[in-house]
């Protein structure tokens, strides 16, 4: 038979692991002990641990030490120990159990984590960053023709990059604190991927808004798409940062997404009835080559629009009547 | 030399003559002139003032609609009161009004008039005649302003007398009389610098001769009726005349769509460092119907702008276009108690000249009046990569039928040259 002794840190992490192939283990500050503890509060021959005769438990025997033995913070001696008990000698914390103690089941190595390894390559991260930078630059140039100033663009981009970098840095820090790899490169790659997708979705949205007349449907679908993207970002960030159960990860990501969506939707849902003297509409224009739907005839447009607007306005009038 | 002397002497004598007449007129008629006050019932103080004058022995007083509009909208909150030359006050009731021509007919409730009142002239005077405007500017006391009758204002949908003389706030609702003391108009507006506008005689006669006496629950219905009649008249007139066309860039657009709508052109050709050329043609009626302090109507605006570029790529140019048509203001002023929010519809539309436009049509309803809307339209053509025509109009206070008719007509007027 053998006895396993683990030295624990204050928060229960294993500092040192001893496997002693004997039925009795002596612990103390003297050099002739099986396990020597360099702790001034521990007596030279502090205690003995031995497997009981019925071979079931480990018993502790305090060898009249100065500071005694505490089990789970309580002073006691000569009692049977179980795996969960934390034994304190002086200022040293120990766990003592038999080697036949069961370990938790093995976690299946996630294929996903393997598949995501490319996110962690520096050059991937750099390429994604460059793509994002390019997209933002193109947008800037198309919106501000003739006012190109590299310094302004770079400054604006840097400011933006600093703000969005809070996200990967925060999660990298949290995962480091949780004794896991920070995956900082992967976190950044993930963020750039998310931002690139949002930029591309904006182009899709503009294309749809230009071609279709169902403005609120397009905006609704696009908001849904962006929420899904955000959910994905959140989910993968958590996946890289922490070992959680899939369920916990799903629910955290879903809650976060709902909160962010509500934040975006709030003014639309609750500000819609506020009076505005100016009309609100979408005016997206694109070059004729991007026009893919057939046009409607003017009289159809006028008739349909008038009917629809008059119907909505009559409702609005009725609602406003005290 | 002789001619100069002669003209000076003529000027002196005519000026002296009008001075004398003005004094006589004022002294004679000052007791038929009143200050009209809106009294806030809560505080008991006057909240706004104007002028008015007696036109019958039975106590009928003419003033402007805008002087008493608070009462029309809130008959429970305000009452109308007159103040005569001797300092007497008394209550007035509202008999009828003409919101289009800004006139109101009031009646003294108790006090018996002294038999002195203004007669209405038979006809309008000849151009160049001396006429005299009476009123109480800025609450400074009744005054008389001699001036010249310069005919009816040109290019105006609503007939107004062009009066060369000062009309100031507070004189609104006061009479303008000829040398015999007969009313030819009612003070209504000023364009500054000795240019004043008067409501001409026929409109006053029509109101004085109206037999109806309105009750307070009929006021808004009366406004609604008058607005409907007026907008229909205006639309019929606008759409009946053959619109003239002019070239604007590659497009052909209407210009001077009516006599009563004046147009101005503009371009950015003189600006430096612009990446595109903009040529525009803007027209508006420039006269509004006052309904209350926060609501005006009757505006018509029509604008065309041709944008073209050589240095912008098609993405940049169409982003510019999106921004250009992305924000428009209504032509008239309106508050949340009077109108709903705008509702908009948009689509890619082709007109009967095969011009493709991204079109946005918006409308808001008047809360107090049935079937009256403010309409706003803006469109940008989508046929060229490097050029687009923006067409835009606003109408205020028109019916659903007028909205559809005008929009249809307007959209079909644009063509490529």
Query: Is B89 within 8 Å of B83 (Cβ atoms)?
Result: yes
| Same domain, residue pair B379 and B301 | yes
- pLDDT for residue A59: 84
Q: Is B36 helix (H, G, I), strand (E, B) or coil?
A: strand
Q: Is B352 helix (H, G, I), strand (E, B) or coil?
A: coil
Residue B315 lies in a domain: yes
- pLDDT for residue B18: 57
Q: Evaluate the CA torsion angle B350, B355, B356, B359 in order and state its sign.
A: negative
| Same domain, residue pair B209 and B228 | no
Residue B104 lies in a domain: yes
Q: Find tokens 């996110």 and name the residue.
A: A119
With a cut of 70, list the residues of chain B below it in pLDDT.
1-20, 111-113
ipTM above 0.90, yes or no: no
pLDDT at A189 over 80: yes
Helix (H) or strand (E) holding A7: strand A3-8
Domain limits for position B34: 2-214
Q: What is the mean pLDDT of residues A146-162?
A: 82
d(CA B185, CA B190): 14
A306 and B407 within 8 Å at the Cβ level: the answer is: yes
| Same domain, residue pair B256 and B381 | yes
Q: Give A216-268 pLDDT, tens digit per residue.
A: 899 999 999 999 999 999 999 998 888 778 888 999 999 999 999 999 888 88
Q: Which of A65-74, A123-132, B1-10, B47-56 has the least mean pLDDT?
A: B1-10
Distances from the Cα of B240 to the Cα of A302, B197, B243, angstroms = 20, 28, 9
Q: From B162, B194, B214, give the residue that closes a domain.
A: B214
| Same domain, residue pair B244 and B118 | no
Distances from the Cα of B118 to the Cα of A186, B27, B60, B302, angstroms = 92, 13, 10, 42
What is the Cα gyration radius of chain B? Answer: 25
Contacting B residues, span 375-414, partner chain A, CB-CB under 8 Å: 376, 378, 380, 382-385, 388, 400, 403-404, 407-408, 411-412
Q: What is the mean pLDDT of residues A15-31?
A: 90
Helix (H) or strand (E) holding B198: strand B195-200
Query: Is A97 within 8 Å of A221 (Cβ atoms)?
Result: no
| Same domain, residue pair B14 and B123 | yes
Residues in chain B: 417
| Same domain, residue pair B183 and B283 | no
Which phi and psi angles does B230 have, rounded to 5°?
-65, -45
- In chain A, % of residues over pLDDT 70: 97
Residue B231 lies in a domain: yes
A310 interaction partners in chain B (CB closer than 8 Å):
363, 365, 373, 400
Average pLDDT, chain A: 87
Instruction: Tell me which chain A residue has its CA closest to the CA of residue B361.
Output: A305
A277 interaction partners in chain B (CB closer than 8 Å):
329-330, 333-335
Query: Is A20 within 8 Å of A34 (Cβ atoms)?
Result: yes
Q: Which residue has the higher pLDDT, A40 or B30?
A: A40
Q: Which two tokens stand for residue B406?
A: 């005008």
Residue B70 lies in a domain: yes
Q: How far is CA B138 from the centre of its chain?
A: 22
| Same domain, residue pair B116 and B145 | yes
Choose from A149, A202, A306, A311 for mutation: most chain B CBs within 10 A: A306
| Same domain, residue pair B176 and B268 | no
Instruction: Tell me which chain A residue has its CA closest to the CA of residue B402.
Output: A306
Q: Specify the pTM.
A: 0.81
| Same domain, residue pair B232 and B380 | yes
| Same domain, residue pair B236 and B207 | no
Residue B219 lies in a domain: no
Query: Is B245 within 8 Å of B253 (Cβ atoms)?
Result: yes
DSSP characters for B244-309? EEEEETTEEEEE--STTSEEEEEESTT-SS-SEEEEEEEEE----EEEETTEEE--EEEEEEEEEE
CATH at B39: 2.40.10.120
Query: Is B372 within 8 Å of B224 (Cβ atoms)?
Result: yes
Which phi and psi angles does B57 have, rounded to 5°?
-80, -10
Helix (H) or strand (E) holding B345: strand B343-350
Q: From B148, B180, B214, give the residue that closes a domain.
A: B214
d(CA B37, CA B169): 13
Strand partners, B106: B61, B94
Contacts (Cβ under 8 Å, ≥6 apart) of B403: A306, B363, B373, B375, B395
Q: How many domains does chain B have?
A: 2
Q: Which two tokens stand for residue A114?
A: 């393997």
Q: Is B90 helix (H, G, I), strand (E, B) or coil?
A: strand
d(CA A37, CA A48): 13
A205 has a chain B CB within 8 A of its CB: no
Q: Which of B199, B302, B304, B197 is nearest to B258 (CA)?
A: B302
Q: From B214, B245, B263, give the residue that closes a domain.
A: B214
Q: Which two tokens stand for residue A72?
A: 């789970």
d(CA B172, CA B406): 34
Query: Is B97 within 8 Å of B105 (Cβ atoms)?
Result: yes
| Same domain, residue pair B189 and B81 | yes
Q: Which of B179, B203, B56, B51 is nearest to B118 (CA)?
A: B56
| Same domain, residue pair B178 and B233 | no
- pLDDT for residue A320: 74
A288 and B315 within 8 Å at the Cβ level: the answer is: no
Hey, which of A102-116, A173-187, A248-262, B322-336 has the most confident mean pLDDT? A248-262
B342 and A280 within 8 Å at the Cβ level: the answer is: yes
């Amino acid at each position: 038979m053998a006895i396993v002794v683990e030295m624990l840190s204050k928060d229960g992490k294993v500092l040192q692991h001893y496997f002693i192939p004997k039925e009795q283990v002596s612990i103390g500050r003297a050099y002739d002990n099986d396990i020597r503890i360099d702790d001034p509060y521990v007596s030279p021959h502090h205690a003995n641990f031995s497997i009981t005769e019925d071979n079931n438990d480990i018993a502790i025997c305090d060898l009249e030490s100065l500071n005694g033995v505490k089990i789970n913070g309580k002073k006691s001696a000569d009692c049977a120990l179980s795996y969960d008990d934390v034994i304190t000698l002086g200022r040293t914390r120990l766990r003592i159990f038999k080697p036949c103690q069961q370990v938790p089941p093995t976690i299946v190595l996630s294929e996903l984590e393997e598949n995501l390894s490319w996110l962690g390559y520096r050059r991937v991260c750099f390429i994604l960053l460059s793509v994002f930078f390019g997209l933002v630059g193109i947008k800037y140039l198309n919106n501000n023709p003739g006012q190109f100033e590299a310094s302004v663009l770079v400054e604006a981009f840097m400011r933006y990059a600093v703000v969005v970098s809070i996200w990967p840095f925060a999660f990298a820090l949290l995962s480091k604190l949780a004794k896991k790899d920070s995956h900082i490169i992967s976190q950044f790659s993930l963020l750039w991927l998310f931002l690139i997708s949002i930029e591309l979705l904006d182009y899709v949205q503009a294309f749809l808004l230009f071609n279709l007349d169902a403005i609120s449907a397009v905006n609704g679908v696009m908001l849904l798409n962006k929420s899904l993207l955000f959910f994905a970002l959140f989910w993968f960030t958590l996946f890289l940062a922490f070992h959680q159960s899939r369920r916990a990860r799903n629910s955290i990501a879903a809650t976060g997404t709902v909160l962010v969506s509500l934040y975006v939707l709030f003014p639309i849902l609750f500000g819609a009835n506020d009076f505005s003297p100016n009309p609100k509409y979408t005016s997206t224009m694109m070059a004729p080559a991007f026009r893919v739907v057939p046009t409607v005839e003017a009289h159809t447009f006028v008739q349909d629009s008038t009917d629809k607007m008059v119907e909505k306005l009559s409702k609005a009038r009725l609602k406003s009547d005290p | 030399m002789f001619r100069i002397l002669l003209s000076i002497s003529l000027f002196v004598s005519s000026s002296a003559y009008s001075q004398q007449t003005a004094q006589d007129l004022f002294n004679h008629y000052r007791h038929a002139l009143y200050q009209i006050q809106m009294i806030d019932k809560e505080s008991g103080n006057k909240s706004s003032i104007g002028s008015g004058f007696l036109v019958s022995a039975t106590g009928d007083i003419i003033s402007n609609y805008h002087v008493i509009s608070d009462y029309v909208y809130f008959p429970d909150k305000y009452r109308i009161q007159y103040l005569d030359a001797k300092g007497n006050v008394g209550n007035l009731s509202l008999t009828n009004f003409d919101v289009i021509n800004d006139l109101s007919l009031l009646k003294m409730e108790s006090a018996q008039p002294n038999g002195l009142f203004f007669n209405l002239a038979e006809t309008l005077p000849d151009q160049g005649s001396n006429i005299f405007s009476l009123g109480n500017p800025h609450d400074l006391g009744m005054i008389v302003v001699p001036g010249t009758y310069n005919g009816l204002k040109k290019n105006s949908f609503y007939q107004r007398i062009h009066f060369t003389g000062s009309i100031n706030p507070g004189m609104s609702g006061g009479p303008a009389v000829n040398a015999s003391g007969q009313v030819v108009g009612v003070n209504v507006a000023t364009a500054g610098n000795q240019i004043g506008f008067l409501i001409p005689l026929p409109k006053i006669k029509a109101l004085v001769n109206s037999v109806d006496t309105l009750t307070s629950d009929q006021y808004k219905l009366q406004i609604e009726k008058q607005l409907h009649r007026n907008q229909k008249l205006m639309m019929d007139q606008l759409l009946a005349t053959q619109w003239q066309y002019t070239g604007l860039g590659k497009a052909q657009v209407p210009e001077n769509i009516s006599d009563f709508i004046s147009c101005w052109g503009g371009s950015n050709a003189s600006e430096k460092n612009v990446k595109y050329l903009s040529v525009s043609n803007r027209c508006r009626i420039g006269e509004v119907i006052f309904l209350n302090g926060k609501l005006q109507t009757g505006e018509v605006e029509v604008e065309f702008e041709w944008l073209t570029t050589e240095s912008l790529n098609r993405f940049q140019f169409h982003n510019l276009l999106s921004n250009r048509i992305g924000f428009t203001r209504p032509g008239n002023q309106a508050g949340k108690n009077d109108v709903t929010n705008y509702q908009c519809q948009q689509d890619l539309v082709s007109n009967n000249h095969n011009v493709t436009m991204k079109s946005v049509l918006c409308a808001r309803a008047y809360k107090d009046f049935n079937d009256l809307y403010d309409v706003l339209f803006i469109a940008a053509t989508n046929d060229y990569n490097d050029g687009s025509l923006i067409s835009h109009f606003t109408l205020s206070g028109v019916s659903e039928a007028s909205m559809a008719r005008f929009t249809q007509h307007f959209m079909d007027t644009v063509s490529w040259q």
